[in-house]
Amino acid sequence: MRKVIFILIAAGVAAACGNSRKAAPGSSEAGMETTVATTAPAADLPVPALPDNLASPEERADFMALHFWDEMKWGDAAQALDSAFMEQNFVNYVTVLPYATPAGRDEAIGSLLSAARLAGEDRLDFLYDVAVRYLYDTESPMHNEELFLTFVDWAESNGYYPEVAAERRADIMKNRRGSEAADFEFESRDGSWVRLSDLRGTPVLLMFYEPDCENCLAAEKRLAASTPLTQAVADGSLKILAIYIGDDRAMWSSHAATLPEGWTVGIDAAKRIDRDNLYNIGATPSFYLIDPAGTVALKDAPLPVILNLIQ
């Protein structure tokens, strides 16, 4: 189905010219897990038929997003509470949303959540849990806070666990893409004290890591093995800043000596980053790409995305 959706949107274009330190978010806003056995293979919802009078790709994407769930039987618990069915269709749905206009996304997501709630709070809880796990959980390969923000907006506006929604909004807005990266001071491996802002003037790849984290070690090897990245560091067009957010100095010092000489490696032994809640680091490694002016270009981005961008 995803291929079909992309083809339909592409046709419109032609016609017109993402080691865990914190627990993952709760399974539902109510903090309850809903488990429903899947008795049949997951199926795709029918693709909405696009009206002939929709000429622009934006109009087509808005229509597709708004009518994607038209054939959903919210009153049928076997369908609405089926994990495989809901997850597969939610993934398909999320492939459409980036092509829609902001207003179209707001309307489509609002319509979806309202329809689920009208059928029953358990339907809404189940659907919202899927959105949390796929879009908000930092360990999800589809992690996308900007898309999830619309779900948060609806939750706050409609009294759906508004306190939780407010906390998630604060999380999303912190070091949001396009905002100024929160500044902090750290001790570097040569013993000097440096601030993140001292590195301005050059793009900075900021990595929060832990020396004993297997995923961190794997990421470090991939970064060190990247020829374009190594060349960028060597010619001064990129800085890599690796920050250990812990207080085991002996472990950090031993590990820091193994990292490339061209990297800036530091420790926040006083845990100011965590204490002052400067960055929300759900899992390590956590990557931020910061532009020369100190603005966040990528927030908590997957390493493959960063490597592809640099390469």
Q: Which of 115, 145, 173 is the last residue of a domain?
A: 173
Is 201 found in the same domain as 145? no
Asked if residue 178 belongs to a domain, the reply is: no
Is 257 found in the same domain as 132? no
Q: What is the pLDDT of residue 42?
A: 65
Question: Could you give the count of Cα atoms lying within 13 Å of 254 in the half-sphere of its Cβ?
Answer: 5
Task: Answer yes or no: is pLDDT of 9 > 70.
Answer: no
Is 260 found in the same domain as 130? no
pLDDT tens digits, 150-178: 999 999 999 999 999 999 999 999 999 99
Domain count along the chain: 2
Give the model's confidence band at 302: pLDDT under 50 very low, under 70 low, under 90 confident, else very high: confident
The domain containing residue 197 runs over which residues? 185-310
Q: How many residues does the chain have?
A: 311
pLDDT tens digits, 22-54: 443 344 444 434 444 444 556 899 999 999 999
Is 162 found in the same domain as 230? no
Is 306 found in the same domain as 197? yes
Task: Answer yes or no: is pLDDT of 15 > 90.
Answer: no
Average pLDDT score over residue span 132-147: 91
Average pLDDT score over residue span 204-224: 96
Total-model pTM: 0.77
Asked if residue 180 belongs to a domain, the reply is: no
Q: Which of 173, 208, 228 is the last residue of a domain?
A: 173
pLDDT tens digits, 243-253: 999 999 999 99
Task: Report how far residue 232's alpha carbon sits from residue 240's, in angstroms, rounded to the nearest whole number.
Answer: 10
CATH number for the domain spanning 238: value is 3.40.30.10
- Go through 191-221 and write b for each residue having 16 or more CB atoms within 10 A of its CB, e for each that does not: eeebebeebbeebbbbbbbbbebebbbebbe
